[in-house]
Amino acid sequence: MNSEDKVATFFKKIVEHKTKADLRPEGVLSEANVQNNEQAVEEKLQLTEPIYSNNIPSFLKNEKLRLVIFGGKGGTGKTTSSCATAMYLARKYPGKRFLVASSDPAHSLADSFDSSVNSFITPVEGVGNLFAIEMNPAILLEKFKKRYKFSIANFSNMSFSTDQIDIRDFLGFKLPGMQEMMILLEIVNLLKFGIFRPYEYDLVIWDTAPTGHTLRLLELPDKVLKWIELFETSFLRYRRFSTGVATLGFKIPGRMPPKGNVRTFLDTLSKDLEKIRTILRDEGKCEFIPVTIPEELSIAETERLLATLGEEDIPVRNIIVNRLQKDKGCAFCSARREGQETYLREIDGKFGSCNLLRLPVFSNEVRGNDGLLRFGDFLSGDGSQYSVPQSTSRPLRDEDNFQPGMLREVLNKDLQFIIFGGKGGVGKTTVSAATALSIARHNPDKKVLVFSTDPAHSLADSFATSIGDKVTPIETESLQDASQGNLYALEIDGRGLYRNFKKEYKLNIENAFKKWQASYLAGGRKWKMDFDEKVMVEFVDTYPPGLEEVLALEKIMGFIKNRDFDIYIFDTAPTGHLLELLKFPELVREWLRVTYRAILRYHREVPVDNIEVLAKKILTSQETVQKMHSLLTDPQKSEFIAVTIPEAMGMLETEDLLLSMKDLGIPCSHVVVNMVIPATDCDFCRSKRNEQIGYIHQIHEKREFKRYEIAKVPLYPHEIRGIDNLMKLSRFIYEKDQMCFNRST
């Protein structure tokens, strides 16, 4: 079933589902609404001005809700929507307590509230009943280990055997995935209540990471329940073994039978994970609100998000359509508004069965209590009185002007790897694609591959062509002075690579255990290995989230080894997950080490060819991680280019990113400041541009940015999509003689 079919099925389920009237905006999800949708779309789009929300959405009036989740593509306004919703509700219900929790590795709550927020629950300044936390899984992990230290110590005593996976490797919490589990358990903890413990917070608002990684987090309960099943299998195996030994009159030195707290430990974990699964599917207590913008890349990602949420039965009743451009009579605003109309039609056609909350692009960054309350008013349908103040142009400096060709130096380097990274929604994929075109055009004798490992791919949307998990030639013959058939693109399917890895692993393990069991019986040993086999087979289901990226990078390393391509352009996931990707070698190596060591234990007793092959494959994966890290830190072969936008949240995140790159030893000398509004006579544009110029001045004045070349790229009046538009952008970025805008803009 493709994504369009999944979305259609999802909306059909919404329409057929009988929701209580007080939980549903009037008429939004009725069958008549769906049938008349096309006519409604046409009527809406005949208007010259966008219609903003004029009804209060369910998540702002349903007092039974316990959890509201905001998700979507990076840069669409998830954090702003989360904080504005919290601010609005805290003002509306002063007798209730609200908490905003962020699980994005690159947190932005403090920037959005313009208030101190950290890894502990903190009151939001000026709002007595509103609290915030930027969840730090490492700290949560330490709290968890401290809380269950006796159970963990007792459970560790089950690791008595040398012929199975050492359970202490799990309980040492060295493996990736454990930190993500801590986030889910913390959400459960924040929602807990009992007879003697009322709700600590009436509503938890969850600000998630960008789409691909949010979906992996939501799927994690099933994975962790697999871990628990694995633990329980080991528990049963231990009990059977210890009972048999005790029957013979022996004791295992230093290994006492597990006490009841081990069972309690496992039961508590299982119940907590079942709770989060139940809450996520309970439409009376939970709502997931996707946030999108009228652009092709965001719409495509929202479609994929809805398809997965439908499969997981997570309720969606509202979708925020953010940053609608008003027609101000300004040529730039009018062009952007005109460019959005097709996408608004597409949004209404695809997602119109949900309540679409339309919000404008604001003339100033939405930040701080006042800005968030204004945004909340628009969410509730009460923001129509907002007007743009008159503005005068801010004095310009030389560095404020657009200077084409600022990244030309990159073309002159003999690089093998160019990596683009930054906050979600800043245009990384667009700049990556434009760079790939320019690199291919200036190196006609070299083969260039632009690729992505982000679970929420956007390369195909950017090039406006089908790509997927196959090396795809990018056709540019129709363009004059384009690349000469030497550019290729690839969206690596990490999930697919893992499925193949898992299939091969399980087949090898099952065949090996058949041979091992036969060998044991032939040797006169009656010990059955059914528990061992179950543990080893199911262990692969506990794989760390980073393993998919390892397998993806292994594929790239295969290209490098075979010299299939000369230059690689890496379009990465948003900041937080990029850093995890660059840091995860240790974590993934740990999981691979546990697997390799367990397999070798059996192999020493009964050598089996297929297990030797599997062990070597796992060892190869370990080596791949190290080789890739060596390549990325070689200044002669690789360079990282940071992409940001002139806004507070973007700038602060970029500072942290650049420091992390320095700590990781990854070379970086360029920063692209994208989406800078050109100078116009429009009050709206002038107000927004003045704010942007202020941030650009900060960049040039800050010591942290002194060592970097700063390249400013204008916000175009249309979406940069398709070869023609990408080529124009690439010429602006990389060629001094091509000027899309005057120097004064």
Q: What pLDDT is recorded for position 121?
A: 92
Lowest mean pLDDT among 68-82, 264-278, 503-517, 693-707: 503-517
Helices and strands of the chain, counted as H and E runs: 27, 16
pLDDT at 341 over 70: yes
Q: What pLDDT is recorded for position 628?
A: 77
* Nearest one of 281, 272, 276, 189 to 228, comparing CA atoms: 272
Average pLDDT across the chain, whole number = 76
- DSSP, collapsed to helix, strand or coil, labels residue 100 as strand
| Cα–Cα distance measured from residue 65 to residue 23, given in angstroms and rounded to the nearest whole number | 10
| Cα–Cα distance measured from residue 317 to residue 240, given in angstroms and rounded to the nearest whole number | 50
Q: If 0-12 CB within 10 Å is exposed, 13-18 middle and 19+ buried, where does residue 487 land?
A: buried
High-pLDDT (> 70) share of the chain, %:
66
| Tokens read off for 289 | 């609100």
Q: What pLDDT is recorded for position 46?
A: 39
pLDDT at 363 over 60: yes
DSSP tag of 373: H
Band the pLDDT of 719: cuts 50, 70, 90. confident
Residue 671's contacts (CB-CB under 8 Å, 6 or more residues apart) are: 641, 642, 643, 644, 654, 658, 699, 705, 708, 709, 710, 711
| Mean pLDDT calculated for residue range 54-62 | 86
Q: The CATH number of 399-493+632-734 is which of 1.10.1030.10, 3.40.50.300, 3.40.50.1970, 3.30.1360.120?
A: 3.40.50.300
Higher pLDDT, 642 or 610: 642
| Mean pLDDT calculated for residue range 652-679 | 89
Task: List the domain boundaries for the chain.
Answer: 3-379, 399-493+632-734, 495-547+584-629
Q: Per residue in 260-297, pLDDT tens?
A: 566 777 788 888 888 888 888 998 999 999 999 998 88
High-pLDDT (> 90) share of the chain, %:
30
Q: Per residue in 168-185, pLDDT tens?
A: 555 454 454 566 778 888
pLDDT at 110 over 80: yes
| Cα–Cα distance measured from residue 205 to residue 610, given in angstroms and rounded to the nearest whole number | 49
pLDDT at 325 over 50: yes
Q: Per residue in 215-267, pLDDT tens?
A: 767 777 776 676 677 666 666 655 554 544 444 333 444 444 444 566 777 78
Band the pLDDT of 618: cuts 50, 70, 90. low
Residue 739's contacts (CB-CB under 8 Å, 6 or more residues apart) are: 404, 732
Question: Is 66:98 a contact under the CB 8 Å cutoff?
Answer: no
Q: What pLDDT is recorded for position 436?
A: 96
Q: What pLDDT is recorded for position 17?
A: 42
Q: Per residue in 4-49, pLDDT tens?
A: 555 455 445 544 443 333 333 333 333 334 344 444 434 443 334 4
| Mean pLDDT calculated for residue range 649-678 | 88
Q: What pLDDT is recorded for position 130?
A: 96
Q: What pLDDT is recorded for position 231?
A: 67
* Nearest one of 703, 574, 452, 573 to 108, comparing CA atoms: 574
Q: What pLDDT is recorded for position 727?
A: 92
| Dihedral sign of CA atoms 562, 567, 573, 577 in order | positive
Q: Per residue in 381-437, pLDDT tens?
A: 876 555 555 555 555 555 557 888 889 999 989 999 999 988 878 899 999 999 999
What are the C-alpha distances in Å from 376 to residues 72, 112, 307?
18, 13, 28
Q: Per residue in 188-204, pLDDT tens?
A: 888 876 444 456 899 99
Q: Per residue in 518-575, pLDDT tens?
A: 776 666 655 555 656 666 666 666 555 556 777 787 788 889 989 999 999 999 876 5
List strand residue ranges (DSSP E) for 646-736, in order: 668-676, 709-714
Higher pLDDT, 358 or 211: 358
Q: What pLDDT is recorded for position 178?
A: 67
Q: In CATH terms, are 3-379 and 399-493+632-734 the same topology?
A: yes
Lowest mean pLDDT among 61-70, 217-226, 435-444: 217-226
Higher pLDDT, 144 or 340: 340
Residue 146's contacts (CB-CB under 8 Å, 6 or more residues apart) are: none
pLDDT at 84 over 60: yes
pLDDT at 306 over 80: yes
Cα-trace Rg, the chain? 27
pLDDT at 334 over 50: yes
| Cα–Cα distance measured from residue 162 to residue 170, given in angstroms and rounded to the nearest whole number | 15
Q: What pLDDT is recorded for position 514?
A: 77
For 284-303, b/e burial (b = at least 16 CB within 10 A) is: ebbbbbbbbbbbbbbbbbbb
* Nearest one of 351, 278, 346 to 320, comparing CA atoms: 351
Lowest mean pLDDT among 191-200, 255-264, 339-348, 439-448: 255-264
Q: What pLDDT is recorded for position 512?
A: 75
Superfamily of segment(s) 3-379: P-loop containing nucleotide triphosphate hydrolases (3.40.50.300)
Q: What pLDDT is recorded for position 485?
A: 85
| Cα–Cα distance measured from residue 566 to residue 580, given in angstroms and rounded to the nearest whole number | 26
Q: What pLDDT is recorded for position 249?
A: 39
| Cα–Cα distance measured from residue 133 to residue 190, given in angstroms and rounded to the nearest whole number | 11
Q: What pLDDT is recorded for position 486?
A: 92
